[in-house]
Amino acid sequence: MTESWKTRTKLVHGGSRRSQYNEVSEAIFMTQGFVYDSAAQAEARFIETGPDEFIYARYGNPTVAMFEDRIAALEGAEDAFATASGMAAVNGALTSLLQAGDHVVSAKALFGSCLYILENVLTRYGVEVTFVDGTDLEQWRDAMRPETKAVFFESMSNPTLEVVDIAGVADIAHGVGATVVVDNVFSTPVFSDAIAQGADVVVYSATKHIDGQGRALGGVVLGSKDYIRGTLEPYMKHTGGSLSPFHAWMFVKGLETIELRVNAQAESALKIAQALEGHPALARTIYPGLASHAQRDLVARQLGGKGGTVLSLDLKGGKTSAFAFLDALTIPLISNNLGDAKSIVTHPTTTTHQRLSDAQRKELGITDGLVRLSVGLEDSDDLIADITRALASLG
Ligand SMILES: *Cc1c(COP(=O)(O)O)cnc(C)c1O
């Protein structure tokens, strides 16, 4: 691969490996193992594995390697390790780095399973965790200690779409030598500039925009060669969270079109947000790409002004209105994935964020009327017509 390639060229050709048949489309190497020519070659490979040499699919596989190299090229990371799900990526990124006595500072606005790892898993093994309001740099600064080993946050929070200042937090964290781990799903790999902003480790659930068609679970951790091969890989390859070659193949093909898809989805999301802003049935229209977003300067600096593919609507009539709205929609599907080609609508209070207490939801701004819309690839005019008709039907 040529370093000077632009994004779309990297996404189509980056990381390709061809077999002796010189196939055009990337092959699925559906194999757990690899044959050695001799006993001596087996011995040598267990000591050191070359760039196109493999031992066992839990350690690495050619199709998985194509996915890792292609997403690393997109993110501008030195290296990547693919995982069986987004949660295997979050767990691996943190657990491989930490030990008893370490301290972690985390934003409190987290996806439920991320919160579980920080609150219920790491703490069981003697890691102390402090939660802060991710948008408040003062709180990050106050929480740092000499033994702070890592900081963790979702760069754009779910479902209230608050943006965390990666450069600001990284500056504070690096002051005490802590590793900055960013769950970057809502920012998407297309709009991400996380590593240039100061993130040391970037994590994606590939289940979202990388697949982009709602088919497979997967994830990836990106970072320096030292971290990926020295810290993360030994943990992942021995604990079993490796990605299936079949899913890796879907993600390799997903990356070919991700730039086109995510840009189209973000363009639609902006049009929908602009069309709905100020609608009498809505208390708030939240979209980071809107000029009215509270953090528009940060969105400009960190995401090139792009607001992502998700918007949230706060309906005035609470849960009753939110449910009636979901039921009245004919195009967006009621489900809980995001980044899919199909628009998906979610009521966080009763589904994804049901397990939080009322007080926690209130603190995070997750009201009973809040609805999250993941914008798909449908025509935005059709989506706007469907949404405005559903809102009008609320009376
Ligand atoms: C979906 C999601 C995850 C978990 O990914 P899975 O692939 O479902 O395991 C983690 N973080 C964020 C922000 C997500 O949206």
Please give the number of the atom of ligand 1 that sits closest to the Cα of 208: 1
Rounded to the nearest angstrom, the distance between the alpha carbon of 291 and the centre of ligand 1 is: 28
Cβ neighbours for 242, distance < 8 A, ≥ 6 positions apart: 57, 58, 59, 64, 82, 83, 84, 236
Q: What is the pLDDT of residue 112?
A: 87
Among 214, 146, 178, smallest CA distance to 374 is for 214
Rounded to the nearest angstrom, the distance between the alpha carbon of 351 and the centre of ligand 1 is: 15
Q: Which two tokens stand for residue 216?
A: 């497979």
Q: Which domains does the chain have, with CATH numbers?
A: 2-254 (3.40.640.10), 259-392 (3.90.1150.10)
Answer yes or no: is the C-beta of 89 below 6 A from any ligand 1 atom: no
**C-alpha separations of 16 from 10, 11, 105, 287 in Å:** 10, 10, 38, 36
Q: What is the pLDDT of residues 7-28, one digit of tens each?
A: 999 999 999 999 999 999 999 9
Q: State how far the Cα of 231 lies from the Cα of 395, in Å rounded to an integer.
A: 57
Q: State how far the Cα of 335 lies from the Cα of 214, in Å rounded to an integer.
A: 11
DSSP bridge pairs for 203: 183, 221
Q: Which helix (H) or strand (E) holds 302?
A: helix 296-303
Please give the number of the atom of ligand 1 that sits closest to the Cα of 158: 13
Q: What is the pLDDT of residues 154-181, one digit of tens each?
A: 999 999 999 999 999 999 999 999 999 9
Answer yes or no: is the C-beta of 116 below 6 A from any ligand 1 atom: no
Q: What is the pLDDT of residue 1?
A: 60
Rounded to the nearest angstrom, the distance between the alpha carbon of 289 and the centre of ligand 1 is: 22
Q: State how far the Cα of 73 lies from the Cα of 69, in Å rounded to an integer.
A: 6
Q: What is the pLDDT of residue 140?
A: 98
Which residue stretches of the chain have pLDDT < 70? Answer: 1-2
Ligand 1 mutation target, pool 118, 185, 209, most atoms within 8 A of CB:
185
Q: What is the pLDDT of residue 268?
A: 98
Q: Which two tokens stand for residue 347?
A: 């009521």
Answer yes or no: is the C-beta of 188 below 6 A from any ligand 1 atom: no
Answer yes or no: is the C-beta of 86 below 6 A from any ligand 1 atom: yes
Q: State how far the Cα of 395 lies from the Cα of 392, in Å rounded to an integer.
A: 6
Among 67, 380, 375, 75, smallest CA distance to 216 is for 67
Answer yes or no: is the C-beta of 92 below 6 A from any ligand 1 atom: no
Reduced to 3 states (helix: H, G, I; strand: E, B; else coil), residue 201 is strand
* Global pTM exceeds 0.95: yes
Among 139, 169, 146, 127, smallest CA distance to 302 is for 169
